[in-house]
Chain A
Amino acid sequence: MHPLAAHSFPPLDSALLAFDAVSCERGGRSIFSLLSFELFGAAALQVQGDNGAGKTSLLRIAAGLLAPSGGRVLSRGEPVDSDRYRFGSELLYLGHHAAIKANLTAVENLQYTIDGRHRFELAAIFAALAAVGLAGYEDLPCRTFSAGQRRRVALALLLLSDARLWLLDEPFTAIDRGGVAMIEQLMAGHLGRGGAIVLTSHQPVSLAGLRTLNLTSGADDE
């Protein structure tokens, strides 16, 4: 399943991602407060909660896109702000919007990734697109794609990137049943190599070693 990223990550001596009493406020309203958790390698955390419970905000805080109203976000024992370069190079964030340009083809979208960090071989891009079920669609502009197909182009990054920490906001949106199984397989492979995943999803995810964090009740049931 993993044609490209066969290596596994070195062992960790401190948490890849840790929330230390993090609070989030949006528009003067407290969304969640004093949230703490630690995420080591080979671990996955599913954030659950009703609409507006703060799942996306939590992921954006974890990625450093949103500043928490209180508390600290740590990576390997240090605040993520202290070394954005290292944290950024370990991170793969897939947000609500797929960040796919409609006017570029599937290959071009992956060839010219916006962040300027990733540089993938053309052969690797074709292999990844085939693996996410887009064989034969490589050179079509993404505006002709369905929502699920666009999503799959973004998901091809999971195969290509060497990031250790995946932050996935609703990765199953618009994805068909076969695609869900494929993503679960990708995630299992990533955990097997020592990676870590935080994802938000409304639907149950079948993944060994998955913890859930329910923002609505505030209880972290392991």
Chain B
Amino acid sequence: MNSALTRSLRRELLLAARRRGELANPLLFFVMVAALVPLGISPQASVLAELAPGMIWVMALLATLLSLEPLFAEDYRDGTLDQLLLAPAGMVFVILGKMLAHWLVTGLPLTLIAPLLAVLLALPAAGWLPLLLGLLVGTLALSMIGAMGAALTVSLQRSGVLLTLIVMPLYVPVIIFGSAVVQRAIEGFSWLAPLALLGSISLLALALCPLVVVGALRLTASD
């Protein structure tokens, strides 16, 4: 079981390493939108600081959405999905490996680049660590939940918009607690409670989403 997971992870990371240019796109999107906010709203630090926690989280969410569509679509087109469904055991672990690899190449880099955005948007220093920890935990949930949408829409030619419509409502709790972590830290309250809630959402998603993905992919193959 575990070897299925690690082998799947290695395979996906190898594949990701072969298309580095594509991986940079969500990151560039993340940074560019952040650079536009001061131009569009106001360059005043006090105004930006107010908006920063929610803004950064919304942008992380959109950047994740951008990266979801090819998650299973390529496998669907080249026949890999059939082989995956025929895997005698541990298909859930192979899928989980794919989803974790997605987080490692999108969610984790988004988290690491977030301090740059915090500077761009004049986020008060008290919010930096909570923002990093929140993104670290929360982007995992974004990847897991997003993979469900990607699996459900895998057979569609242009799945982008539908995928977004399916996944967005499910992202609501993540964004509420994610920005609450930063907001409370800036206001000087304890931010561990929303972080813990965010963590529990991620763990729940980690446990359940692979099962939903397997079911959705099976349904697609038998169609």
Contact = CB atoms under 8 A, between A and B. Distances in A.
Interface string B141-172: 00000000000000000000000000000000
Given A63-B86, A114-B11, A115-B86, A99 B78 contact: yes
A152 to B, nearest CB: 15
B15 A104 contact: yes
Residue from the set A85, A104, A114, A141 with the largest chain B CB neighbour count within 10 Å: A114
B222 A93 contact: no
A114 B84 contact: yes
Contacts of B89: 85, 88, 117
Interface stretch (B2-10, B44-52, B104-112, B179-187): B2-10
B94 to A, nearest CB: 5
Interface in B18-38: 18-19
B87 to A, nearest CB: 4
A98 B75 CA distance: 11
A96 B8 contact: no
Contacts of B88: 84-89, 115, 117
Mostly, the B contact residues are helix
A71 to B, nearest CB: 15
B78 A97 contact: yes
Contacts of A65: 82, 85-86, 221-222
A91 B86 contact: yes
B45 to A, nearest CB: 44
Interface in A73-131: 84-89, 91, 93, 95-104, 108, 112-117, 119
B80 interface: yes
Nearest to B19: A103
Interface string B195-223: 00000000000000000000000000110
Contacts of B87: 88, 114-117
A95 B82 contact: yes
B78 A116 contact: no
Contacts of B86: 63-65, 88, 91, 93, 115
A95 B75 CA distance: 13
Interface string B73-95: 00101111011111111100110
A78 B174 CA distance: 46
A164 to B, nearest CB: 13
A101 B94 contact: no
Contacts of A84: 88
B15 A103 contact: yes
A115 B85 CA distance: 8
Contacts of A91: 86
Given A63-B86, A85-B89, A99-B82, A116 B7 contact: yes
Interface of A: 60, 63-67, 84-89, 91, 93, 95-104, 108, 112-117, 119, 141
Given A102-B78, A103-B18, 18 more contacts: A63-B82, A65-B82, A65-B222, A67-B222, A91-B86, A97-B77, A99-B78, A104-B18, A112-B7, A112-B10, A114-B84, A115-B84, A116-B3, A116-B4, A116-B7, A116-B94, A117-B88, A119-B7
5 contacts: A67-B222, A88-B86, A89-B88, A93-B82, A116-B4
